[in-house]
Structure 1
Amino acid sequence: MQEKQNSLSIKNWADDDKPREKMLQKGRLALSDAELIAILIGSGSKKESAVELSKRILSSAGNNLNELGRLSIKQLMGFKGIGEAKAITIAAALEFGRRRRGEEVQKVTKITSSKDAFELLQPLMGELPHEEFWILYLNNSNKVLHREQLSKGGMTGTLVDVRLVMKHALEHSAVGLILAHNHPSGTLKPSRSDKEITKKLKTASGALDIKTLDHLIIAQNSYFSFADEGIL
């Protein structure tokens, strides 16, 4: 039994099987997602190596890093061998990656399609466990003047202050708006309230000669565009 436990220690693995050594020798692209997570957590348990534990964690999230990023620290701690420190390390690394992607898409300053808007907003809300409502304020060339989170709600919905949207649109001299909110459930079908708030904002902005160009419902890897579907 002791021999089996010792064999699970990274120190006893062949160099090619050690994630840290593998990264040094072959580069970071040679590592699997599980091996990268194993480096973060450092060790497994007496019955499970760090890589095996990482594979199990990934498997629970469908081997999807975006889905893994939605797990809370408490949920991560539900895996045997993952204490608070390891859970925080995993969550911090995934959040760092999300922010890095967010910085990269900030280079997209001109919106020419619903896909452009999705690429800009997905890192901000695509993986959230709660609903948020965001606004993109555009100039007459469809360049983004400002973006902001208008409201933050629970799993069932969020409140939108129409007057506040118009106030900020005037402050930024915007001539176009793109509305967006996420559905944590993953469904892309617009609800009755989604359609109502779209109509309210379109009517209010139209009275000020500001166009509501689109309303996106954003999920983890996909989106629904009111404009593309012809229901704006």
Structure 2
Amino acid sequence: MDDTSARIPIHQWAQDDQPREKLMNKGKEALSDAELIAILLRSGSISQSAVELGRSLLQKVDHNLIALSKLSIDDLMRHKGIGEAKALSIIAALELGMRRRLAEVPVRKTVSSSRDAFDLLYTSVADCLYEEFWVLLLNHANRRISVEQISEGGQAGTVVDPKKIFKMALEQNAAGIILCHNHPSGNLNPSTADRNLTDKIKNAGNFLDIKVLDHLIIADESYYSFADNGLM
């Protein structure tokens, strides 16, 4: 698409450049993020085409789709040209994508690596604006029993009660657990408090004969594994 196309209405663009026609003729992989958003928006504003509007929205979040998914309806509507209908379409589409990712994970998948655990835990904390603490409960075969939220707090941290963790583990007859919390800041490095809490929970698990196998810190689409880094 050349610069001239961006200055005229989309319906006057060459057919190969119109997002809907491009999707039909070339497939979804051929579209840019801005063009996909343009299809969701359906129309632009007085001063911008739908593609330009999608592009400006992406610029607001540094072209980070994860950051875009964390915006609320009000956040989106503060962007010039985005009304309630457009905001709802964007949020619904991003949520559907998140649910699709969750549906791809086998419910009874055997957890044999930190990546397996990440795949099961990611969707629980991916879009959280504040720090949350979760636990993955496993049976004797290291298969998922459930994923449970333990606490939620602010951007700087959350309070975790080990008694609540082991109460859930005992009630569901878990043989092992994997701890998880997110860092909204994007920093994956464990704090001293993270290390101390992990040691405290691991020691309690030894007493109750429930293995604490790992502790994941998740930020955006990356993670830090205590086990992989020799901290378990």
TM-score where L is the length of structure 1: 0.90
Q: Is the 8 A contact 1:181 1:218 kept in 2?
A: yes
Counterpart position of 1:214: 214
Gaps of 5+ in 2: none
Q: CA deviation at 1:148?
A: 1.0
Q: Which AA in structure 2 matches 1:65?
A: L
Q: How many residues get paired?
A: 227
Q: CA deviation at 1:53?
A: 1.2
TM-aligned CA distance change 1:97 to 1:194, over 3 Å? same
| CA distances 1:186-215 after superposition (whole Å, capped 9, x unpaired) | 111112221222122112211111111111
Q: Which AA in structure 1 matches 2:82?
A: I
Q: Is the 8 A contact 2:121 2:136 kept in 1?
A: no
Q: Which moved more, 1:75-84 or 1:172-181?
A: 75-84
Counterpart position of 2:124: 124
| CA distances 1:48-73 after superposition (whole Å, capped 9, x unpaired) | 11101111211222222222212222
Counterpart position of 2:178: 178
Counterpart position of 1:21: 21
Q: Is the 8 A contact 2:121 2:147 kept in 1?
A: no
Q: Is the 8 A contact 2:174 2:210 kept in 1?
A: yes
Q: Is the 8 A contact 1:8 1:48 kept in 2?
A: no
Residues 23-102 of structure 1: pairs in structure 2 closer than 5 A: 23-102=23-102
Show structure 1 runs of 4+ deviating over 4 A.
Answer: none
Q: Which AA in structure 2 matches 1:53?
A: L
Q: CA deviation at 1:219?
A: 0.6
Q: CA deviation at 1:108?
A: 6.3
Q: CA deviation at 1:14?
A: 2.5
RMSD across aligned C-alpha pairs, in angstroms? 1.8
**Percent identity between the aligned chains?**
54
Q: CA deviation at 1:107?
A: 4.6
Q: Which moved more, 1:145-154 or 1:216-225?
A: 145-154
